[in-house]
Amino acid sequence: MSPVLVRPATPDDSRCIASVHVRSWNESYIGRVPEGLSDLLDVELSAWRWATRLRGEKPPDAERLGDAWVALRNDRVVGFSSAGPARDADLTESVVELYALYVLAAHHGTGVGAALLQAALGPGSASLWVLADNPRARAFYAKHGFAPDGAARVDDRWGGPLREVRLTR
């Protein structure tokens, strides 16, 4: 397999990011999230939102999501990550929060996720939220020094409860 290149994302990457997001979501979360949630994912809307974010703007009805990086193999985007200041009031300003990390299933276990994690967070204090019922992701993050810190939440905006736990390092 060719080496992975990770670089900061640009507005020109927005469609690729959106495609990876929708495809990897469907690869990873079917059966773990309410059925209707996957139906809400729209590549065109997501691409527009990412282009807006990557221009440094905040899309209406969406979060800004900090800085973003893309991972490329053979000049094709196969994953992305996004991070910024921790949004939880109980964490200090020095903590960086991983907002998103998605990798196409064909590239799981190849170092793409680790490279994106490193680009997004560096070596310092960090936090992230992960589905409680996502053993693969939780094992990945544990391998990179993350552990549950006792914080949990239930997001019921999407037609059913999504139980999440916060991991920190």
pLDDT 10s digits, 6-47 = 999 999 999 999 999 888 877 776 666 556 555 567 778 888
C-alpha 132/C-alpha 163 separation (Å) is 6
C-alpha 62/C-alpha 91 separation (Å) is 22
Q: Are 69 and 116 in contact (CB under 8 A)?
A: yes
For residue 158, name the pLDDT band (cuts at 50, 70, 90): low
Domain boundaries, the chain: 5-124
- Res 44: pLDDT: 85
Q: In angstroms, what CA-CA distances link 107 with 81, 130, 144, 157, 166?
A: 14, 20, 18, 30, 25
> Tens of pLDDT along 124-141?
999 999 989 889 999 999
Burial of 21 (0-12, 13-18, 19+ CB in 10 A): buried
Query: Does the pLDDT value for residue 91 go beyond 90?
Result: yes
How confident is the prediction for the chain on average, in pLDDT? 89
For 152-156, what is the mean pLDDT? Answer: 87
The conformational region for residue 16 under phi > 0 = left, psi -120 to 50 = alpha, else beta, is alpha
Fold of 5-124: Aminopeptidase (3.40.630)
Percent of the chain with pLDDT over 90: 63
| The pair of three-digit structure tokens given for residue 73, joined into one six-digit string | 């193999």
| The pair of three-digit structure tokens given for residue 130, joined into one six-digit string | 């992960």
If one compares 59 and 118, the residue with the highest pLDDT of the two is: 118
C-alpha 148/C-alpha 168 separation (Å) is 6
pTM given for the model:
0.89
C-alpha 78/C-alpha 76 separation (Å) is 6
- Res 49: pLDDT: 85
For 97-126, what is the mean pLDDT? Answer: 96
